[in-house]
Amino acid sequence: MIAEEKVNSAEAASTRKMARRRTRRCTRGVARTASIPCSLSAPLRVAYPVQLPIVPGCSCMARINQGETTPMSDRSHWDPDMVAYQKIVDAAAAKLPPIKLEIPLDPHRASNDAISMISAAGGPSMAESTDRWVFARGRRIVCRVHRPRTDQPLPVLVYFHGGGWVWASIDTHDRLTREYAAGAEVATVSVDYALAPEARFPQAVEECAAVVRHVAANGADWGLDGSRIVLAGDSAGGNLAFGTALLLRDTNGPKLRGILANYPVTDSNLDTASYRAYSEGHGLSADKMRFYWGAYAPSEADRINPYAAPLRGDLKGLPPTLIQLAELDVLRSDGEAMAAKLQAAGVPTELETYAGVLHGFMRFTEHVQKSREAVARGCDWLRKVTM
């Protein structure tokens, strides 16, 4: 049974500062639930302390040959805008308590969110912005809806934020979703799924699928065209976009118009060319990814489940896909391999790699020119697939 309720735009605006606290509260709510039905594996397990296993180990501006990597630990090959933005981040981080990858994560989420919010403020104004709630899998899932116009139902971009399945929220990615809404003339629905390790696989992917089903069936109630849905996400959110698409395909879910994946996690294999080249000194590290996988999918069986590691699945029947990658990113090989397998499966697929930028660059539009170019390119693609 899925239900929903609405908060009007004025109330949503007045409570924006509470959103991160709300996100953690919702996650804790999941953590204290004794058993939530789960169709993909055992009931949701909550654990403090959590034992984290060791996980085995073409841009508009410049095209990067797939598979070629250049190891570097300094910033000599970084895009100048990327260097300047990283200095802003470094200065902000120096004033905050250190972010540690240790359980529980709540004491460190505030610092992580504070850094993420540097790039989250602002963005295009919307005709209407509302926070909605979808009740599914024993939890109230917050969904932020941005509508650039309200005179007609718009196609929908359902967005899943990144953050290694353990960090971030709909607030940290608010500017990016506004830019997609304005640039592509779509409504965006940003999903505040439950975070790991309090909620482990497959809780998040099943929540995301529940929201998509709700939008498809009841989108008109939100002023949306539920027949034109694209899934999108960055990093772990890109992983959820692919996992959700596979789950919906396999369970007779709504037909999708496309998938927009920004530097997605597609496999639990950390022994790839890009992991070897950029494992240190480029923001997202191999050690961080080991922690994230351990928090999200502790068991080996989960880490090879196609809904968690979509590169290992049968990709036939997925909708047209655009994958946008950062050159200097441990996840670059993930995206390249996913694009190749999608193409082999007959899925119309486009792959772009942006030179000199790091993982996460799509959110830095206020500071990095290539971020603006990548978002604009994504908006052009969205217009095409939602026509």
Nearest to 284 by CA among 322, 332, 355: 332
Buried/exposed code over 285-320 (b: 16+ C-beta within 10 A; e: otherwise): bbebbbbbbbbbbbeeebbebbbbbbbbbebeebbb
Residue 74 annotated among the catalytic residues of the structure? no
| Antiparallel, parallel or unpaired: β 154-160 and 224-234 | parallel
Q: How many CB atoms lie within 10 A of CB 218?
A: 15
Best CA proximity match to 289, nearest among 307, 310, 306, 275: 275
Asked whether 217 and 244 are in contact (CB, 8 A), the reply is: no
Annotated catalytic residue within 59, 129, 169, 235: 235
Structure tokens at 323: 């994958």
CA-closest candidate to residue 161, choices 231, 98, 249, 89? 231
The string of DSSP letters for 93-120 reads HHTSPPP---SS-HHHHHHHHHHHGGGT
Backbone angles phi, psi at 107, to 5 degrees: -60, -20
| Phi, psi for residue 361 in degrees, rounded to 5 | -65, -20
**30-36 long-range contacts, Cβ below 8 Å, gap at least 24?**
30/138, 30/139, 30/194, 30/198, 30/199, 30/203, 31/198, 31/199, 33/138, 33/139, 36/137, 36/138, 36/139, 36/203
**Residue 384: in which H helix or E strand, if any?**
helix 369-385
**Among this protein's residues, is 111 annotated catalytic?**
no
Task: Take residue 18 and report the two structure tokens written for it.
Answer: 């509470």
The contacts of residue 69 (CB under 8 Å, 6+ apart) are 273, 274, 276, 277, 278, 332
CA atoms of 65 and 60, how far apart (whole Å): 13
Q: Exactly one of 108, 161, 359, 367 is catalytic; which is it? A: 359
Residue 173 is among the residues annotated as catalytic for this protein: no
| Catalytic residue of the set 79, 131, 329, 334 | 329
Residues annotated as catalytic (active site), given as ranges: 235, 329, 359
